Amino acid sequence: MGADLLEWLRALAAIATAAAAIIAIKRYLGELKVNRRLIWQKTSVQQILQDGDVVSFLELKKSYRAMAASEMKARLDAKDITDEALRIILIDLCADNVVVQMGNDNYAPTTYLGQMQSMQATNSEMLTLQKIFFEAQLKFLANQDASIKEMLKHQQRVTDAVAPRNSSLSSSSLHEVR
């Protein structure tokens, strides 16, 4: 009887081991399916944003659902294409630094942010160049203004020498004639 019990326990242990292995394989396959779905969802959203433009959540949702309907309809459940599921994907992509939330429920790839930062640096350089140009222009105009004032003073001296101020025609009456 002791040998039968030992055989029984061995058989029971083998059955338990086989059941545990089957459960582990089933969990692994379930996780694999979830991971594949998650990878598909992330790459799909990234593909939609690949143009580099800012996309609103509503536009993103429309494109995402169209892709899901055409490519993954057999593998995606209705819960996988809900607003909440898409927002979770966007949060993951933002955390992975693939997507950036621009505000007002708009999203863009991080390359867009990089482009904007490089444009900001370029704009800063342009503003510096404009400032230098305007300073040079103001200096030129100030010199021109000084030259014009000097020329007017010289012309006034010549005019005074030719026609003294106490003549019958005053400068104010000359302005009225013109």
The pLDDT tens digits of the residues spanning 85-142 come to: 888 888 898 888 888 888 788 888 887 665 666 567 667 778 888 888 888 888 888 8
Q: What is the pLDDT of residue 172?
A: 54
Mean pLDDT, rounded, for 141-170: 79
Which carries the bigger pLDDT value, residue 131 or residue 80?
A: 131
Q: CA 144 to CA 55: how far, in whole Å?
A: 52
Residue 73 has pLDDT above 70, yes or no: no
Amino acid type, 111: T
- Helix 83-95 with 57-71: angle, nearest 10 deg: 100
Does pLDDT of 20 surpass 50?
yes
Lowest-pLDDT range of 42-46, 49-53, 130-134, 171-175:
171-175
Task: Give the pLDDT mean for 44-57.
Answer: 83
User: Taking all residues of the chain, what is their mean pLDDT, rounded to a whole number?
Assistant: 80
Any idea where the domains of the chain sit in the sequence? 2-116, 123-177
Across-strand partners of 56?
A: 106
pTM, to two decimals = 0.48
Is pLDDT of 145 > 70?
Answer: yes
pLDDT reported for residue 16: 92
What fold does the segment set 2-116 form as a domain?
Answer: Arc Repressor Mutant, subunit A (1.10.10)
In this predicted structure, which of 9-13, 70-74, 149-153 has the lowest mean pLDDT? 70-74
For residue 131, the model assigns a pLDDT of 86
